[in-house]
């Protein structure tokens, strides 16, 4: 597979949350430490919008705007006007947590996880935005990532990057609730003294293809993995950067895999060897991905403890 960076697009500190907008034929993503929203169109090129706080993720909405999960809450963002309107306050202390990975489910409910800063293990959680409010749906995590749904919509995936683990849940589409949590895939942590080049990485953002393959970016592992429905690794793609963060499927046929990457906080010698660190990479794959889910403002869900 040939891997290349998007042309004319600058590097991010930590790119995240890419999605392909089918109506616009464009790719969106965020730069968390760079506090910016990015858009790339094959003909129109690149555009960025600066933001006042760190964006964890971005998702398209049916009303033509975007939803941004930021350190200080959920926002409706109009890229045509560059305006924001807050729709929900952060359900945590913004001094110790921020929103991170998030996506809409197939029914249009927005799910967003948090990232616990300062080594506060186990304090991050997963929230669902429905009926106009945020509800805590799962917890006991440290770095929420890897949200995705199976093609039949009956399984939801959610990873804790620091724990090197991807969980799976039975997903009730009608109620928007979770049941039967279990370990979908677990990866070995880095041993003390283990060379970074020998480390396989930890699961970060993910996307699912039309056959149910779970494509996950292995942060610090310089690779993408494709996992089968039973969690077995069925394919591996080596990348020219140490820290991929999240893949998504795009292009008219959904067979182009776009991958955001990171350079923020990486050693100088590593960055010297990896000039594409922080860039958005792309490659072609054989199996198309699932299209992005749009947020429905009237999506409903039953509460869950």
The model's pTM: 0.96
**Which backbone phi and psi does 127 adopt, to 5 degrees?**
-120, 150
Residue 304 within any structural domain of the chain: no
Marked catalytic residue, from 31, 105, 160, 204: 204
SS3 content of the chain, % helix, strand, coil (to 5): 5, 50, 45
Of 136, 173, 137, which Cα lies nearest the Cα of 152? 173
* pLDDT tens across the length of the chain (305 residues): 799 999 999 999 999 999 999 999 999 999 999 999 999 999 999 999 999 999 999 999 999 999 999 999 999 999 999 999 999 999 999 999 999 999 999 999 999 999 999 867 789 999 999 888 999 999 999 999 999 999 999 999 999 999 999 999 999 999 999 999 999 999 999 999 999 999 999 999 999 999 999 999 999 999 999 999 999 999 999 999 999 999 999 999 999 999 999 999 999 999 999 999 999 999 999 999 999 999 998 777 775 43
Residue 205 within any structural domain of the chain: yes
Residue 305 within any structural domain of the chain: no
Residue 107 within any structural domain of the chain: yes
**Which backbone phi and psi does 272 adopt, to 5 degrees?**
-65, -35
Torsion of CA 82, 88, 89, 94, to 10 degrees: -70
Per-residue model confidence (pLDDT) at position 66: 98
CATH number, domain containing residue 214: 2.120.10.30
Q: Which residues contact 160 (CB under 8 A, 6 or more apart)?
A: 124, 141, 142, 143, 144, 145, 167
240-to-64, 90, 198, 210, 270 alpha-carbon distances in Å: 35, 36, 15, 26, 11
CA separation for the pair 242, 262 (Å, rounded) = 8
Q: Which two tokens stand for residue 275?
A: 């000039």
Per-residue model confidence (pLDDT) at position 299: 75
Per-residue model confidence (pLDDT) at position 305: 39
Q: Which residues contact 198 (CB under 8 A, 6 or more apart)?
A: none
Residue 261 within any structural domain of the chain: yes
Residue 38 within any structural domain of the chain: yes
CA separation for the pair 11, 275 (Å, rounded) = 9
Domain extent, residue 76, equals: 4-284
Domains held by the chain: number: 1
CA separation for the pair 301, 283 (Å, rounded) = 36
The verdict on whether 31 is a catalytic residue reads no
193: how many CB neighbours lie within 10 A of its CB?
5
Residue 182 within any structural domain of the chain: yes
Residue 33 within any structural domain of the chain: yes
């Amino acid at each position: 597979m040939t891997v290349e960076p998007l042309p004319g697009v600058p590097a991010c500190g930590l790119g995240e949350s890419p999605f392909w907008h089918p109506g616009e034929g464009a790719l969106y993503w965020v730069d968390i430490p760079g506090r910016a929203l990015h858009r790339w169109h094959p003909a129109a090129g690149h555009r960025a919008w600066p933001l006042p706080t760190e964006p964890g993720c971005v998702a398209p909405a049916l009303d033509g705007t975007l939803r941004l999960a930021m350190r200080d809450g959920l926002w409706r963002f109009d890229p045509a006007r560059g305006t924001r309107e807050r729709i929900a306050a952060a359900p945590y202390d913004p001094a110790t947590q921020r929103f991170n990975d998030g996506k809409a489910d197939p029914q249009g409910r927005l799910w967003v996880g948090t990232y616990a800063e300062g080594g506060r293990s186990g304090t991050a959680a997963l929230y669902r935005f429905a009926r106009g409010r945020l509800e805590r749906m799962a917890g006991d995590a440290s770095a929420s990532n890897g949200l995705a749904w199976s093609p039949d919509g009956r399984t939801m995936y959610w990873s804790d990057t620091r724990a090197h683990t991807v969980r799976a849940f039975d997903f009730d589409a009608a109620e928007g609730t979770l049941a039967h949590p279990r370990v979908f895939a677990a990866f070995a942590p880095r041993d003390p003294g283990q060379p970074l080049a020998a480390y396989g990485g930890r699961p970060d953002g993910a996307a699912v293809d039309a056959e149910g393959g779970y494509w996950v970016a292995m942060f610090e592992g310089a690779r993408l993995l494709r996992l089968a429905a039973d969690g077995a690794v069925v394919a591996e793609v080596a990348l020219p950067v140490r820290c991929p963060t999240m893949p998504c499927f795009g292009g008219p046929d959904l067979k182009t895999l776009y991958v955001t990457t990171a350079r923020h906080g990486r050693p100088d010698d590593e960055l010297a060897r990896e000039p594409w660190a922080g860039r958005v990479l792309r490659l072609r794959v054989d199996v198309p991905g699932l299209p992005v889910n749009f947020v429905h403002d009237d999506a409903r869900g039953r509460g869950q403890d």
